[in-house]
A and B are shown apart, each in its own frame.
Chain A
């Protein structure tokens, strides 16, 4: 069965430091992969997505993610974190029917 694992429940980084959020997936075919962000009390917003082509994907707000088939990973990165990036981040794999299977999420805290 398809699944998504986000190993880190919480991550704390200093403002201006780099960030990497980990995501591993289990899927039999070429996956359609997404990163969403959820600010407190808000809905989910798409950061970026991958479904073919270049394995390094650029998204909004300065985020990027790299698809590594050999490691079944799709890690999210940002070179310099801003206080406004504090939120919960979800990795997801897309399935037929417009369905998403989500990881449990990673809560990012940014310290000044």
Chain B
């Protein structure tokens, strides 16, 4: 595997379910990000992790819970979601302190909450 991978690619869940999204980066980066992309809206930054430490929580509801066990893996745990949480969830990584802050994105998880 190369680059940034995300699983699953598609997820349908009910409002009472608990599920997790997984992201893995194979680029040796030390920063990872979760974004939400809804139709007709700009990318919304949700969480930032630098060297496994959360450095940004962009006022995200507690029904979204991130986990970063190491610099290569990032999870987003989901529980009691609402229909308006349906969106494309994108993971990205970058290497702090080098280049111009370029971020490399995974293919995303298309989430539908029913």
Do A and B assemble together? no
Chain A residues close to B by CB (< 8 Å): none
